[in-house]
């Protein structure tokens, strides 16, 4: 109905819409409750591109453990993920990505698919159209070098003595993000040893060199600017390798080995992420660990635990997310009307309490005043709790009523105290460390994925502020003002905020709005209105 240009919704229709919404909420609640594990948690698949699974094929071939895993099913998985253009995607709808496609092609050949296969022929055309192996990322080339399909001289050198740089030095391994650190330390060993593992049967990828393998230039790419200094340094490092003039080489290797062993979880994981797990296994392989060594057996079992198998295929998740999934589901159920003492929420809350990490992790190197009390993303990850998960779990626990409320409140208080000590100099919060922001690391030839650091971000900062608002917990006036000033400065001219840990701007913007609406809606009225307008305009 319309009166004087004003649209008025029919009361009967409005009532029907409300009933439909309520029915949808109830159905969603019942679905989520039906998905809860008997132990109390929720856990969904963490999807990824095919490179993770492809690299697992290579790892098992190198260790000789491929026959004891259903790797043949990976062929079907890889075939199902190939797109019409012949390549494989890094993310949905990206038109295909060169390095991911090379790794998938490699894996299929390792699984016995002949070069003449139609899928490989289409993939070969896709890869060559984009420059072939010579244009791939460093980590793809490194994996190929392990089986003789690329030359080690085309891989950046990492001197093992960086393990020995003292605390307080301008650069140590703790200036790398936690995920880069967990992957890099074992690669110090691999890049020093430069192994080439014989396979039976062996494979060749010479057909993927656009210029021909014999004409390939195994040089590091130059940008023709200041960053080329790293290429010159790499030349010095390679000269040291060739002349055996690497200072403290053996000590650095031993320190890297010790670091790897100290950080393996009882479950066999390293860092709770497949890249760190695979690289750690490669590092220990380069040190000639036996496949039956308990450390190796645990590592392989941990990788197996990240696998998903169906009747048709077999694939590997890059990480697993039970803490995150459980925290978000608890919040959704509680905020949609499920009673705070509902048995499902109580069971989930008690499970989350048991997962609080009370050990010191790598974060303490740059935050010695902090006391442990965070949560990680995965089932077990003692060394790498993160601020984002911890804030979500705190908000989830705040929504439930447990039999031992005193224990719950103590856990929340401890977690918030840990988070407050993790605030970075610019005023925001990062995921795993404080002040992990030396951006020059992203310009190293080795760091071509541009993910070498963990700076504070708007989305994680917003999560912390939302947690403080929901839990009615106060921090110092100075810390709060710094955090709000940081968010204000991070707003884009269009009104949005970038989200590093979700789907970019919609994710970041929604998170910041949730925080500002709780913390200071009047003081940030203009920013909130601009962001809301941007969200509406972005809807498709």
Q: Give the model confidence (pLDDT) of 451-479 as tens digits.
A: 999 999 999 999 999 999 999 998 999 99
Residue 15 lies in a domain: no
Domain carrying residue 503? 21-43+320-538
pLDDT bin (cut points 50, 70, 90) of residue 446 is confident
Instruction: Quickly list DSSP for 101-160.
Output: HHHHHHHHHHTT--TTSHHHHHHHHHHHHTT-GGGS-HHHHHHHHTTTSS-GGGSPP--G
- CA–CA dist 91, 372 (Å, integer): 35
pLDDT bin (cut points 50, 70, 90) of residue 61 is very high
pLDDT for 484: 98
pLDDT for 2: 45
What number is the average pLDDT over the span 161-171?
92
pLDDT for 148: 97
- Domain final position from 275, 291, 316: 316
Q: Do 25 and 147 lie in a common domain? A: no
CB of 220 within 8 A of CB of 151? no
Q: Do 232 and 138 lie in a common domain? A: yes
> Of 15-19, 230-234, 254-258, 464-468, which range is least confident?
15-19
Between 245 and 343, residue with greater pLDDT: 343
Residue 96 lies in a domain: yes
Q: Do 200 and 100 lie in a common domain? A: yes
SS3 call for 172: coil
pLDDT bin (cut points 50, 70, 90) of residue 223 is confident
- CA–CA dist 55, 63 (Å, integer): 12
pLDDT bin (cut points 50, 70, 90) of residue 9 is low
pLDDT for 202: 93
Output DSSP code: residue 431.
S
pLDDT for 12: 53
Identify which of 7, 38, 5 has the alpha carbon closest to the alpha carbon of residue 347. Answer: 38
pLDDT for 14: 60
pLDDT of 447 above 90: no
pLDDT for 13: 61
Q: Do 289 and 328 lie in a common domain? A: no
pLDDT for 168: 83
Catalytic entry in 234, 388, 435, 459: 388
Question: Residue-wise over 20-41: b if at least 16 C-beta within 10 A, else e?
Answer: eeeeeeeeebeebbeebeeebb
CB of 78 within 8 A of CB of 117? no
Residue 242, token pair as written in the block: 């060739």
User: How many domains does the structure of the chain reveal?
Assistant: 2
Residue 3 lies in a domain: no
Residues 6+ apart with CB under 8 A from 213: 206
pLDDT for 500: 94
Q: Do 269 and 143 lie in a common domain? A: yes
Output DSSP code: residue 318.
S
Q: Facing residues of 316 across strands?
A: 307
pLDDT for 224: 86
pLDDT bin (cut points 50, 70, 90) of residue 46 is very high
Q: Do 349 and 267 lie in a common domain? A: no
- Cα–Cα distances (Å) from 523 to 335, 340, 473, 485, 528, in that order, read 26, 32, 19, 11, 10
What number is the average pLDDT over the span 512-539?
96
Q: Measure the CA dihedral 303/304/309/315, to 10°.
A: 20
Active site residue 388: yes
- Cα–Cα distances (Å) from 275 to 233, 268, 279, 442, in that order, read 26, 14, 6, 18
> Of 1-5, 211-215, 334-338, 380-384, which range is least confident?
1-5
Residue 271 lies in a domain: yes
Q: Do 412 and 521 lie in a common domain? A: yes
Instruction: Quickly list DSSP for 80-116.
Output: HH--TTS---SSTTS---HHHHHHHHHHHHHTT--TT
pLDDT of 11 above 70: no
CB of 491 within 8 A of CB of 531? yes
SS3 call for 240: helix
- CA–CA dist 228, 226 (Å, integer): 5
Q: Do 312 and 457 lie in a common domain? A: no
Q: What is the pLDDT of residues 262-306, one digit of tens each?
A: 999 999 999 999 999 999 999 999 999 999 999 999 999 999 999
pLDDT bin (cut points 50, 70, 90) of residue 167 is confident
pLDDT for 1: 44
CB of 98 within 8 A of CB of 130? yes
Q: Do 100 and 145 lie in a common domain? A: yes
pLDDT for 5: 46
Give me the percent of the chain exceeding a pLDDT of 90.
Answer: 89
- Cα–Cα distances (Å) from 440 to 169, 229, 436, 443, 450, in that order, read 16, 12, 11, 5, 10
pLDDT for 455: 97
pLDDT of 3 above 70: no
CB of 345 within 8 A of CB of 335? no
- Domain final position from 299, 316, 333: 316
Q: Do 259 and 288 lie in a common domain? A: yes
- CA–CA dist 242, 194 (Å, integer): 12
Q: Facing residues of 273 across strands?
A: 319
Q: Facing residues of 357 across strands?
A: 374
Element (H, E) at 314: strand 314-316
- Domain final position from 316, 338, 359: 316
Residue 22, token pair as written in the block: 């309520």
Residue 483 backbone dihedrals phi, psi, to 5 degrees: -65, -45
pLDDT for 290: 98
Work out the burial of residue 195: count CB atoms within 10 Å of its CB; fewer than 13 is exposed, 13-18 middle, 19 or more buried. middle
Question: Residue-wise over 217-240: b if at least 16 C-beta within 10 A, else e?
Answer: eeebeeeeeeeeebbeebeeebeb
Q: Do 341 and 435 lie in a common domain? A: yes
Residues 6+ apart with CB under 8 A from 340: 334, 399, 400, 401
pLDDT for 244: 87
Residue 530 lies in a domain: yes
Chain length of the chain: 540
Please report the sign of the dihedral spanned by the C-alpha atoms of residue 108, residue 110, residue 111, residue 117: positive
What number is the average pLDDT over the span 328-347?
98
Please report the sign of the dihedral spanned by the C-alpha atoms of residue 218, residue 223, residue 228, residue 233: negative
pLDDT of 349 above 50: yes
- CA–CA dist 188, 163 (Å, integer): 9
Residue 12 lies in a domain: no
What number is the average pLDDT over the span 491-514?
96
In whole numbers, what is the pLDDT of the chain averaged over residues?
A: 95
Q: Do 342 and 292 lie in a common domain? A: no
Integer Rg of the chain from CA: 25
CB of 160 within 8 A of CB of 256? yes
Residue 429 lies in a domain: yes
Q: What is the pLDDT of residues 89-135, one digit of tens each?
A: 999 999 999 999 999 999 999 999 999 999 999 999 999 999 999 99
What number is the average pLDDT over the span 23-51?
97
CATH code at 33?
A: 1.50.10.20
Residue 343, token pair as written in the block: 């048995």
């Amino acid at each position: 109905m319309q009166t004087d240009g004003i649209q008025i919704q029919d009361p009967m229709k409005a009532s029907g819409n409300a009933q439909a919404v309520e029915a949808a909420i109830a159905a969603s609640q019942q679905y989520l409750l039906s998905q809860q594990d008997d132990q109390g948690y929720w856990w969904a698949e963490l999807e990824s591109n095919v490179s993770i699974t492809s690299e697992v094929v290579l790892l098992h071939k190198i260790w000789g453990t491929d026959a004891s895993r259903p790797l043949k099913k990976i062929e079907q998985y890889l075939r199902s993920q190939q797109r019409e253009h012949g390549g494989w995607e890094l993310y949905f709808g990206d038109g295909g990505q060169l390095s991911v496609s090379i790794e998938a092609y490699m894996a299929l050949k390792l699984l016995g698919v002949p070069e003449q296969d139609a899928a490989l022929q289409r993939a070969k055309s896709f890869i060559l159209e984009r420059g072939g192996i010579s244009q791939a990322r460093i980590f793809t080339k490194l994996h190929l070098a392990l089986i003789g399909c690329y030359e080690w001289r085309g891989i950046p050198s990492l001197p093992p003595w960086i393990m020995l740089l003292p605390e307080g030095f301008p650069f140590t391994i703790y200036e790398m993000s936690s995920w880069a650190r967990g992957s890099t330390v074992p690669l110090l060993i691999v890049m020093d040893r430069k192994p080439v593992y014989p396979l039976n049967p062996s494979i060749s990828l010479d057909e993927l060199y656009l210029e021909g393998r014999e004409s390939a230039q195994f040089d590091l790419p130059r940008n023709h600017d200041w960053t080329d200094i790293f290429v010159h340094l790499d030349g010095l490092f390679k000269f040291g390798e060739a002349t055996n003039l690497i200072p403290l080489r053996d000590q650095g290797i031993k320190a890297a080995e010790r670091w790897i062993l100290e950080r393996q979880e009882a479950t066999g994981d390293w860092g709770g992420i497949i890249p760190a797990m695979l690289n750690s296994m490669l590092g220990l392989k380069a040190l000639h660990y036996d496949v039956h060594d308990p450390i190796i057996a645990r590592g392989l079992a941990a990788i197996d635990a990240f696998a998903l198998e169906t009747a048709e295929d077999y694939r590997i998740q890059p990480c697993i997310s039970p803490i995150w999934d459980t925290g978000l589901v608890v919040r959704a159920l509680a905020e949609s009307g499920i009673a705070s003492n509902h048995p499902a929420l109580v069971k989930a809350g008690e499970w989350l309490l048991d997962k609080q990490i009370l050990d010191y992790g790598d974060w303490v190197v740059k935050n010695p005043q902090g006391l442990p009390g965070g949560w990680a993303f995965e089932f077990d990850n003692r060394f790498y709790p993160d601020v984002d998960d911890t804030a979500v779990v705190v908000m989830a626990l705040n929504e439930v009523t447990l039999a031992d409320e005193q224990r719950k409140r103590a856990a929340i208080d401890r977690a918030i105290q840990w988070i407050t000590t993790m605030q970075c100099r610019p005023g925001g919060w990062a995921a795993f460390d404080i002040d992990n922001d030396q951006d020059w690391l992203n310009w190293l030839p080795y760091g071509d994925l541009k993910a070498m650091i963990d700076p504070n971000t708007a989305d994680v900062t917003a999560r912390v502020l939302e947690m403080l608002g929901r839990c009615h917990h106060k921090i110092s006036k100075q810390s709060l003002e710094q955090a709000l000033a940081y968010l204000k400065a991070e707003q884009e001219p269009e009104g949005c905020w970038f989200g590093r840990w979700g789907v970019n701007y919609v994710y970041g913007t929604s998170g910041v709005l949730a925080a500002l609406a709780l913390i200071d809606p009047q003081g940030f009225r203009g920013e909130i209105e601009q962001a809301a307008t941007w969200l509406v305009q972005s809807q498709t």
